[in-house]
Every structure is written in C-alpha cells, then in structure tokens.
Amino acid sequence: MILKVKPRSGSATTGAVSWPANWSHQPRRSRGVVLISAPYFPDANALSTLVPLVDRTIYPLDRYPDGQSDYYRSYTTHFRPAVADLDADKAASLASIYRRGDPASIGKPSPNAMVTRKGGRFGAAHRAPPTQPDPASGRRRTSPCW
C-alpha cells in the first residue's frame, strides 16, 4: 500500500516513511495504519511460479491443483464475492486471518488450499465467524474496530 496524502501545503507525500506525520496531522481521514513489507517480484509471486513448488505429498494434484495457493486463484477468479465475504465483518475477518499457527497442522493441508472447494474463505456463511483478536499477537487494541 502506498500512502498518498495531500497536506495543506499542497505537496503530495507518498511512501511508508511519511505515514506517522500524515496520520497524526490527518486523524479524521484514517481509522488506523497497517504496515506490511512485501517484496514486489511479480513473476516470483505468480501462480505459474508458485504452483510447481507445491509439496505434492501434502497437496496431491487431483485434490489440490493449486496447493496452498488455492486462495490466491479463488481471489483472482472470484474477486468481488471474496471482498464481500471479508467486508461482511471486517474485525472478525482480520482476527480470523491474523492468528498464530497451530503446530499440530504441520504436514497437513492448509485451509488456504480449500477456499475454492468451500465456495469462499468462510464457506457458505460468506462471512467470518465471530472471532476475537488473538491475544498472542501482542496487538494493542487501539482501533475502534476491535
């Protein structure tokens, strides 16, 4: 995400480095700030590159053609319904996504590999189940959406 704010001075500021100043000077324009760092390598993150790397001992081709990247294919082919499902309850969606892993799931198919089969990330409900933020995430609950 690139932050672009036009301060009162008229100059546009773009980039993650400037977010603290812009957010603090424009509090009515933002409910919060999320920073992520994702390298931009379009070919490296394409399904055509990722799918051949799938561990077929965990994700047999006949059952999981895209492996754990099924969610990615589902979102690219069913974008509007995917967004609607996530937007149905934004706080619960975020809380259900940003969770610590379960060591018992190692070596088993990820729920991300079953998104298409379920008809969306949250299946027939088309919304996240009521979910509280994971206390292990260390997140301070300062946002009104929590």
Token pair listed for 134: 């994971």
Phi, psi of 76 (to 5 degrees): -75, -25
d(CA 73, CA 26): 37
Query: Quick one: pLDDT at residue 8?
Result: 46
Strand partners, 14: 4
Residue 11 has pLDDT above 50, yes or no: no
Tell me what pLDDT residue 78 has. Answer: 95
Within 10 A of 43 (CB to CB), how many other CB atoms are there?
Answer: 7
Mean pLDDT of 9-28: 56
Q: Which residues contact 141 (CB under 8 A, 6 or more apart)?
A: 133
pLDDT value at residue 20: 61
**pLDDT surpassing 70 at residue 44:** yes
First to last CA, the chain: 22
Q: Taking residues 127-142, what's their average pLDDT?
A: 77
What's the pLDDT band for 17 if we cut at 50, 70, 90?
low
Q: How far apart are CA 89 and CA 33, in angstroms?
A: 18
Q: What is the value of pTM for the model shown?
A: 0.65
Q: What percent of the chain has pLDDT over 90?
A: 53
